[in-house]
Amino acid sequence: MSARTILPRSKAAQREKIVNTLLGGGVIVLFLIAWETVFRLKLVNPLFISAPTKVLSAFAALFRDGTLLNHLTVSGTEFLLGYGAAIIIGFPLGILLGWFKLAKASFGPVVSAMQATPRIALMPLFIIWFGLGITSKVVVVLLSAIFPLIVNLQVAMSTIDGDLVRVARSYGATRWQIFRSVALPTSVPFLITGLRLAAGRGLLGVIVAEVFGGAEGIGYMIQYAGSTFQTDKVFAGVLIVALTGIALDYSLDRLGRHFDRWRGETAVH
């Protein structure tokens, strides 16, 4: 009758985890060593490829003189504003499109068309409309991040369990109550997936928009370093973008697991 039995993780499983970690880490370390060796032995023009140690020292230097922090603040602001706006607009829009058939019929085609349009190709227009400052970048982030959210929430609304709706209806639930007690909780895992996809797209949006035009931000830093052959700085910039992406994805994954507790151990792995 006891409903939950938590078995201790077996020794074999533990060993497998350790081996996997060592393997994954080992390949990265090997790659870094190979990279450094190629640089030291000058097998390729050192100007082109830099080296892990040089990237690290460039990173440290950028950090010390404060330029990194400046660029990071600019890019971070652009990202957060665009991402936040995407959530504020995309979440209700996705739900509306999924919940009301009329809304889907009216706005579905527009959304599909906009989703298919490459946002970056519109960057020249955004620069004309919003200037070279922060606004044009925020718009790119917004437009990059909003579609995964809209699409995922729209799908979420179509996966609502009809039996749960019937039960709620039999207890006299209003449409709003059904929405709050059944539809909204159903949407949570889809929202998290949407947020993860949106974070990746948004990050890409910031960097590309800054590379395209501007005088601040990590993307600009990468672009400028590249055009002046400071490969170590380029790699330092790429590194920080990658780390941010990993951190964002990891925290959203954790958040998702937190909301998914009710699925139990088996579903979350």
Residues in contact with other proteins by CB under 8 A are: 1, 3-4, 161, 163-164, 166-173, 177, 181-182, 185, 188, 261-264
Question: Among residues 45 and 266, whose Cβ is nearest to other proteins?
Answer: 266
Contact residues for 19 (Cβ-Cβ < 8 A; gap 6+): none
- The answer to whether the CB of 139 falls within 8 A of the CB of 82 is yes
Q: Which is nearer to other proteins, 170 or 227 (CB)?
A: 170
Residue (6 or 113) nearer to other proteins, CB: 6
| Residue whose tokens read 């077996």 | 10
* Least distance (Å) between residue 193 CB and other proteins: 16
Instruction: Rank residues 105 and 167 by Cβ distance to other proteins and give the closer one.
Output: 167
What is the nearest approach in angstroms of other proteins to the Cβ of residue 197?
Answer: 22
CA distance 202 to 145: 5
Nearer to other proteins, 188 or 239 (CB): 188
CA dihedral 17, 20, 25, 30 (to 10 degrees): 160
**Residue (of 85, 88, 256) closest to 187 by Cα position:** 256
- Provide, rounded to whole angstroms, the least separation between the CB of residue 266 and other proteins: 9
With H, G, I as helix, E, B as strand and everything else as coil, classify residue 172.
Answer: coil
Using alpha carbons, select from 94, 118, 73, 96 the residue that is nearest to residue 210. Answer: 73
Q: Kindly tell me which of 10 and 170 has the beta carbon lying closer to other proteins.
A: 170
Tokens linked to 129: 């409309």
Contact between residue 130 and residue 136 where contact means Cβ atoms under 8 Å apart:
yes
Instruction: Give least dist CB 41 to other proteins, A.
Output: 58
From the CB of 106, what's the least distance to other proteins, in Å? 25
Q: How far is the CB of 160 from other proteins (least distance, A)?
A: 12
Q: What are the strands, taking DSSP E only, across the chain?
A: none
